[in-house]
């Protein structure tokens, strides 16, 4: 094992993590770019590299393999470098210190996920990336951005729960979490279908695969270009990589699951094409570009899932495809930004209104968001303000509080029972003794 490669593998996710602490990057020029240097150097190493980290988490490792790892890493370095340049900066250091911290945390998670060799490591890095990206979206964002980010957060939590369950199933079946061990073990497992469903739900929500793409479109319209640039490279590309890493592709043929995934892919492609065709404005093109690309990927993935032999023949191109998705979305963002600044009239918001076929999904997510992230704080606030319209919630709280008070009264009754019990026990013991 080449010692330099080992250190570069470790430093690739570690350096951004360290630089995320404001005090540690205070005097460093271009910190967001400097954080990318180990990844760049790693790409320059000719041979594949791997390092085992048995002391990390539940036994982890990092590796850069020729196909699946190297292309996405190269794409990530390019796109992250460009995004870092677009952050509002003074003397190479971002003006908003917190924005830079979120940026570096997300970067660490994104790079770590590409290099992870086992499920727990991948999950941990992708969670870091997901929450960091949420913070990037929210930090300094306008009201629509925050609303869209909230939907993303809800889907992220649901996705993480689904992936955690899949992770448990995989570890329980295979006895370890290395990708190479999990894939054949899950292929032979009777619970393969459930595992595949969990993985698909988890990564489809993270990738914005139709019909879970609802967070992508509003986000691309509302957040700053530096962050939109990352849409394809961060949540989408990493989730596609996760699908390839986690699913038993090439080890099992699951025609039913493959058909479902292909169906989702076709629907995604059609909806993206229709949406892009009926809009003159380009504000949401990057998002629809993501939906289109993930749809195409899903069609290919479904074919590979349905027939192991197909994946054996074409699976080697997955890394390149994922890298192309990230780059293509970044280029779309850049093209849209150029079009805006080049004096071409930008279509109004009405022109970017959702199409009829998107509305049901948006309505469903809005309802879910209201039920989850919006309603509960509102209940709390309204309850505190004594809002009469939410009497049911107050009644709930009152009922629960009343129950607790009742329980506290029971405690006295319990004491009485206990005292009687002690007396009876002592009396019984003394009579028994005689």
Partner 1 sequence: MSGEAALPLLVLASSLLPGLVIFFLPEQRVALRTTLNLAGAVLKLALVGVMIWGVFHGVHYEARLPLLPGLDLVLRADPLAMLFVVLSSFLWLVTTVYAIGYLEGSPHRSRFFGFFSLCVTATVGVALAGNLITFLLFYELLTLATYPLIVHRGTDEARRAGRTYLIYTIAGGALLLIGTVWLYTLSGTLAFTSRGFLSGLDASLHGALAVIFVLLIAGLGVKAALIPLHGWLPQAMVAPAPVSALLHAVAVVKAGAFGIVRVLHDVYGIQFAAGLGLTLPLAMLAAATVVYGSLRALFQDDLKRRLAFSTVSQVAYIVLGIAIAGPLAVVGGLVHLVHQGLMKITLFFCAGNLAETLGIHKISEMDGVGRRMPWTMTAFSIGALGMIGVPPTVGFISKWYLGLGALETGQGWVIAVLAGSSLLNAAYFLPILYAAWFKAPAGDWPAERDFGRRETAWALLAPSLLTAFLTLAFGLLALAPFSPLQWASFIADLEYAR
- What is the binding site for partner 1 (CB under 8 A)? 54-59, 98, 120, 123-124, 127, 131, 135, 138-139, 146, 153, 157, 160-161, 164-165, 168-169, 171-172, 372-373, 376-377, 379-381, 383-384, 396-397, 400, 404, 407-408, 410-412, 414-415, 418-419, 421-422, 425, 429
If the CB atoms of residues 30 and 379 are measured against partner 1, the closer one turns out to be 379
Element (H, E) at 51: strand 49-53
Q: What is the dihedral of CA 88, 93, 99, 105, to 10 degrees?
A: 130
* DSSP state at residue 190: T
How far is 152 from 219, CA to CA, in rounded Å? 9
If the CB atoms of residues 364 and 424 are measured against partner 1, the closer one turns out to be 424
Tell me how many helices (H) and strands (E) the chain has.
21, 4
CB atoms within 10 A of CB 352: 20
If the CB atoms of residues 37 and 158 are measured against partner 1, the closer one turns out to be 158
CA proximity to 383, closest of 396, 392, 371, 394:
394
How far is 86 from 434, CA to CA, in rounded Å? 91
Helices (H), 118-142: 119-138
If the CB atoms of residues 46 and 386 are measured against partner 1, the closer one turns out to be 386
CB atoms within 10 A of CB 17: 18
Residue linked to tokens 């009777």? 190
Answer yes or no: are the C-beta atoms of 229 and 107 closer than 8 Å.
Answer: no
Beta carbon of residue 303, minimum distance to partner 1 (angstroms, whole number): 31
Prior bond of 315 cis (ω within 30°) = no
Beta carbon of residue 259, minimum distance to partner 1 (angstroms, whole number): 27
If the CB atoms of residues 24 and 309 are measured against partner 1, the closer one turns out to be 24
Beta carbon of residue 176, minimum distance to partner 1 (angstroms, whole number): 12
If the CB atoms of residues 43 and 138 are measured against partner 1, the closer one turns out to be 138
C-alpha distance from residue 312 to each of 165, 253, 260 (Å): 27, 11, 20
If the CB atoms of residues 83 and 128 are measured against partner 1, the closer one turns out to be 128
Beta carbon of residue 155, minimum distance to partner 1 (angstroms, whole number): 12
CA proximity to 148, closest of 216, 213, 228:
216
Answer yes or no: are the C-beta atoms of 186 and 192 closer than 8 Å.
Answer: yes
Beta carbon of residue 229, minimum distance to partner 1 (angstroms, whole number): 21
If the CB atoms of residues 13 and 250 are measured against partner 1, the closer one turns out to be 13
Beta carbon of residue 414, minimum distance to partner 1 (angstroms, whole number): 4
Beta carbon of residue 175, minimum distance to partner 1 (angstroms, whole number): 10
Sign of CA dihedral 203, 205, 208, 212: positive
If the CB atoms of residues 71 and 125 are measured against partner 1, the closer one turns out to be 125
Beta carbon of residue 376, minimum distance to partner 1 (angstroms, whole number): 6
Answer yes or no: are the C-beta atoms of 262 and 210 closer than 8 Å.
Answer: no
Beta carbon of residue 135, minimum distance to partner 1 (angstroms, whole number): 7
How far is 198 from 159, CA to CA, in rounded Å? 9
If the CB atoms of residues 177 and 284 are measured against partner 1, the closer one turns out to be 177
Beta carbon of residue 434, minimum distance to partner 1 (angstroms, whole number): 15
């Amino acid at each position: 094992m080449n010692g330099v490669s080992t250190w570069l593998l470790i430093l690739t996710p570690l350096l951004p993590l360290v630089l995320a602490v404001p005090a540690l990057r205070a005097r460093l020029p271009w910190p967001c770019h400097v954080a990318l240097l180990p990844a760049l150097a790693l790409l320059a190493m000719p041979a594949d590299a791997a390092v085992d980290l048995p002391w990390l988490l539940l036994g982890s490792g990092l590796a850069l393999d020729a196909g699946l790892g190297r292309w996405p890493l190269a794409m990530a370095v390019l796109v992250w470098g460009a995004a870092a340049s677009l952050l509002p900066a003074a003397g190479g250091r971002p003006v908003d210190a917190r924005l830079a911290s979120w940026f570096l945390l997300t970067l660490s998670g994104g790079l770590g996920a590409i290099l992870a060799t086992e499920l727990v490591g991948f999950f941990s890095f992708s969670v870091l990336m997901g929450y960091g990206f949420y913070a990037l979206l929210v930090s300094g964002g306008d009201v629509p951005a925050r609303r869209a980010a909230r939907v993303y957060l809800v889907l992220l939590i649901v996705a993480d729960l689904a992936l955690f369950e899949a992770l448990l199933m995989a570890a329980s079946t295979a006895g370890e979490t290395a990708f190479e061990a999990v894939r054949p073990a899950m292929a032979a497992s009777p619970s393969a279908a459930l595992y595949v469903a969990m993985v698909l739900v988890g990564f489809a929500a993270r990738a914005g695969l139709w019909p879970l793409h609802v967070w992508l479109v509003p986000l691309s319209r509302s957040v700053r270009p530096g962050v939109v640039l990352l849409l394809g490279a961060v949540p989408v590309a990493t989730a596609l990589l996760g699908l390839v890493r986690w699913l038993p592709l090439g080890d099992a043929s699951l025609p039913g699951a493959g058909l479902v995934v292909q169906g989702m892919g076709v629907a995604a492609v059609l909806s993206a094409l229709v949406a892009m065709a009926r809009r003159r404005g380009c504000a949401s093109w990057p998002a629809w570009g993501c939906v289109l690309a993930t749809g195409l990927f899903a069609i290919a993935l479904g074919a590979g899932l349905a027939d192991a032999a197909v994946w054996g023949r074409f699976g080697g191109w997955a890394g390149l495809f994922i890298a192309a998705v990230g780059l293509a979305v970044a280029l779309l963002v850049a093209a849209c930004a150029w079009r805006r600044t080049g004096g071409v009239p930008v279509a109004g918001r009405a022109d970017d209104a959702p199409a009829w076929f998107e509305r049901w999904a948006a309505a469903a997510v809005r309802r879910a968001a209201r039920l989850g992230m919006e309603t509960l704080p509102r209940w709390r606030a309204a309850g505190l303000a004594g809002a009469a319209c939410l009497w049911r919630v107050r009644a709930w709280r009152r009922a629960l509080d009343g129950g607790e008070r009742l329980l506290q009264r029971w405690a006295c009754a319990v004491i009485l029972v206990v005292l009687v019990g002690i007396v009876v026990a002592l009396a019984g013991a003394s009579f028994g003794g005689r």
